Structure 1
Amino acid sequence: MKEDFLHYIWQHQYFSKAALATSEGEPLQVLRVGFYNTDAGPDFREAVLRVGNVEWSGSVEVHLSASDWHRHQHQHDPKYDQVVLHVVWQADVPVTRTDGSLVPVLELQHRVDLGLLQTYQMLQQARSVIPCAAFWPGVPEITKTGMLARALAERLEEKGEEVLQVYRSYGNDWEQAVYHTLLRGFGFKINQQAFEQLAKALPFHVVRRHQHSLLQLEALLLGQAGFLTDAEDAYAQQLQREYTYLRHKYKLEPLQRHQWNFLRMRPANFPTVRLAQLATLLHQRQALFSKLLEADTVKEYAQLLQASASEYWQTHYTFGKEAKHRQAAMGKGSVHSLVINVAVPVLAAYASHSGERTLLDKAIALLEQLKEESNRYTRHYEELGWRARSAADNQAALGLYNRYCRPVNCMRCAVGNKIMKKHSPAL
């Protein structure tokens, strides 16, 4: 058993109230359960209880065993002096506040319905990737649809917060935040980490000074990525000369070539090609942040994030090796991936920052209009009969999996909640 089960039991009051009393024998009445606290401190705040004849307002702390109070050193932490009730599965020891006063304890192990406990244990011990797979078909569609909508909103909030953290870490510079997000997006999962490291190794203030020159942008990006150490042809040598000067000027330290992945990739997706496409985009789309806010349709966003590599890279995949066929522009799927992983998070971030709800609505609308291939995570839901109709559905499924299914956080999921109630006759 984990504490989240007891949080769930307390929050929904799924326990017997018959002759409810503390472990000391004082009559107990719950007037308000309190608000679940996700920050440091007691688990539920602003609870209201009546212990004996006295009404108390304060916090509720939840543990599996009362002795966890001492194991976590709460008896020495003033934040826990406001606790008016200690809810536990087993009351093995009395607990005190910093001043030595006793904290009332409520023991639940004999008050919880056996069916509820068994259902919880089945979910926790399930061997399937989706813990509730065996119950999923019996859950009402409206419950699943509502939970997926919530998971999508939480995922957008999470993605937006990632952009906001970059924005704050670089002195509240939105263009820098977009640049970092753009490079991460150009990693397309396989090289995502390397592109993110490149964003740190090549600051945007350096890029901004050279956006007028495509040659210098290619030299900076390919040089900082570690691809100009051995110039294999005349063009590479030209880039190397530019990079050597710029590296010295800005005191840059490049990444290593081995940090990039070329294995099991189509040549059109090689990081060298992606970097050349990125250079063109940065050259042609200056002040990208404002353009991302102003665009409206999927077509406009696709045009904004579409980029063809320079002439050299239309006939090469790597330096010194000419391709058999001329390179086409960035594919539709890749462009749509950038809309999903760059434009949408930036819109979500600025919506949160500015309070402009219309930008969040725009982000959701973009996802609803885009198709996105299923992946190894969303396919688990497809096997249960669920079908994604848009990128919004896929993003919702990813959010549901990452936040609830993978950590077996069924108690915080509406689907898990419905299963718990359905298979517990006493509720």
Structure 2
Amino acid sequence: MSYFAEQNGQPMKEDFLHYLWQYQYFDKTDLRTAGGEEIQVLKPGHRNADAGPDFLGARLRVGEVEWNGAVEIHLRASDWERHNHQLDPKYDQVVLHVVGSHDADVTRTNGSPIPALALSPRIAPELLRRYQQLMEAPAAAPLPCAPLLSQVPDITRTMMVERALLERVELKADALTALHQHLGDDWEATAYHALMAAFGFQKNSEPLARLAKSLPLAVLRRHRHDQRQLEALLFGQAGFLVDNEETEADAYIQDLKQEYAFLRHKYDLTEAALAVHEWNYLRLRPANFPPVRLGQLVGLLHARPTLFDALLTAQSVAALAEFFQAPAPEYWRTHFRPGRAGKVPSLGKSSIDLLITNVVLPLRVAYARHVGQSALVESSVALLTELPAEHNQFTDVYEALGFTHRSAADSQGLLSLHKNYCAPRRCLHCAVGSRLVRQPRIVG
């Protein structure tokens, strides 16, 4: 077994070797291959996020020869053949095999040998101890680094949360970019689909996304000036215009049902319609019932002739809040569901804040990247600093540990930190975890 297993009773993860190579945190005194040739690391290369070797663009001197190519990393050298790299031409560019322990010689597809560097005896015990301390944190621990956070400067935490925020925004923007391409590069249709899904507020996002797919914006645009027809199309296509003991005596619903029957035939919408049982009501307050949200969408589509342009040009949170406060049709201000009366509140501030965070911001960032307007990315992300912080079981943990949590920008960053780094234990990819593990670099 390697030095790592002997000292800690269990094998380490390969990402630790990636970390060591990327930042060169190992003793480079008399650095040599397993075959005894001298090694000089002129450039370690950059991490490869796609298929193929782990690091690309490395520059090394092995013996008297300078090499430019890739570096592949494994816990054991024999993992090379276990992964069938000797049969894969993508790995022919590897010029150095960096391993925890060297238990086998390896070759390229043409049989030429690849020099190997074993890191086992070159790692400072304290560096390894700190790494294992993070990795051995109980699975129930909210943050593996919680007991050690006092050793991390506030600026490191702040910068990591900002980085996690930008990653979260970029990921959401990526999804909308893909949607935009799928919709034939139509930004207005992209805004429509994004808003429809977002108005489901998680519980009903999926059926609302399917409703948008089944009822193209091009159809709704033809009836935008007639609110009654918009209602008929959306509520009929959603499956809400059905006869039951609550709706059979409701003249308004019966009228919408007749209008929908005509429009359904006109646009051949029958096969794509949803059924009423596909909507979720469980553990929802009446103000969040699907018909209430759909009524608010009708008001928005009727009052706002251009969704995308309005969302793109709004200069403040206040302007965006005004955009979302389009009144629902009168019936849906007094009914929680078809045929069931009750006073319905308008779209609340917290809901508007979520729509700005989850739709407006990524939509604007996706567009800004598309047209190359970096200033629009910055101004869009800055909107989050105008929104209040979100408090939930995840953000509360970070706040209790001293992380800054004053606005939605902080909340989004902390949620990204939890999901993408802390929960999956990707400590070495996090600036906080990396800071805790690393030691002053050993100069060879």
Query: 2-side partners of 1:85 and 1:39: how far apart?
Result: 19
In 1, are the aligned partners of 2:157 and 2:403 still within 8 Å (CA)?
Answer: no
Give 1:350 shift.
0.9
Q: Does 1:194 align with 2:207?
A: yes
Secondary structure class of the residue paired with 1:55: strand
Give 1:349 shift.
0.7
Under a length normalisation based on structure 1, what TM-score does the superposition of the two structures give? 0.95
Query: 2-side partners of 1:309 and 1:224: how far apart?
Result: 18
Q: Give 1:342's aligned residue.
A: 359
Query: 1-side partners of 2:150 and 2:217: how far apart?
Result: 50
Q: Give 2:395's aligned residue.
A: 378
In 2, are the aligned partners of 1:194 and 1:260 still within 8 Å (CA)?
Answer: yes
Q: Give 1:352's aligned residue.
A: 369
Give 1:335 shift.
1.5
Q: Give 2:99's aligned residue.
A: 88
**Correspondence for 1:271 among 269, 290, 294:** 290
**Correspondence for 1:23 among 34, 38, 50:** 34
Q: Give 2:16's aligned residue.
A: 5
Give 1:425 shift.
9.6
Q: Give 1:54's aligned residue.
A: 65
Residue 291 of structure 1 aligns with an amino acid whose one-letter code is A
**Correspondence for 1:102 among 89, 113, 133:** 113
Residue 323 of structure 2 aligns with an amino acid whose one-letter code is L
**Correspondence for 2:56 among 45, 50, 57:** 45
Q: Give 1:314's aligned residue.
A: 333
Q: Give 2:265's aligned residue.
A: 248
Structure-2 change in CA distance of 1:72 and 1:242 (3 Å): farther
Q: Give 2:4's aligned residue.
A: none
Query: 2-side partners of 1:110 and 1:236: how far apart?
Result: 77
**Correspondence for 1:291 among 284, 305, 310:** 310
Q: Give 2:196's aligned residue.
A: 183
Query: 2-side partners of 1:196 and 1:180: how far apart?
Result: 7
In 1, are the aligned partners of 2:28 and 2:442 still within 8 Å (CA)?
Answer: no
In 2, are the aligned partners of 1:184 and 1:195 still within 8 Å (CA)?
Answer: yes
CA RMSD in angstroms comes to: 1.8
Structure-2 change in CA distance of 1:274 and 1:124 (3 Å): same
Q: Give 1:414's aligned residue.
A: 431
**Identity of matched residues, %:** 52
Query: 2-side partners of 1:426 and 1:32: how far apart?
Result: 17
Structure-2 change in CA distance of 1:141 and 1:257 (3 Å): same
When the two structures are aligned, how many residues end up with a matched partner? 424
Secondary structure class of the residue paired with 2:114: coil
Structure-2 change in CA distance of 1:62 and 1:276 (3 Å): same
Secondary structure class of the residue paired with 1:110: helix
Q: Give 2:229's aligned residue.
A: 216
Give 1:142 shift.
0.5
Q: Deviations over 1:139-175 (max 9, x none)?
A: 1100001111111111111111111010011111111
Secondary structure class of the residue paired with 1:8: helix
Q: Give 2:153's aligned residue.
A: 140
Query: 2-side partners of 1:300 and 1:159: how far apart?
Result: 22
Structure-2 change in CA distance of 1:45 and 1:426 (3 Å): closer
Q: Which moved more, 1:259-268 or 1:30-39?
A: 259-268
Structure-2 change in CA distance of 1:307 and 1:42 (3 Å): same
Secondary structure class of the residue paired with 1:135: helix
Q: Give 1:159's aligned residue.
A: 172
Structure-2 change in CA distance of 1:110 and 1:246 (3 Å): farther
Query: 1-side partners of 2:146 and 2:275: how far apart?
Result: 44
Task: Give structure 1 stretches of 5+ with no counterpart.
Answer: none
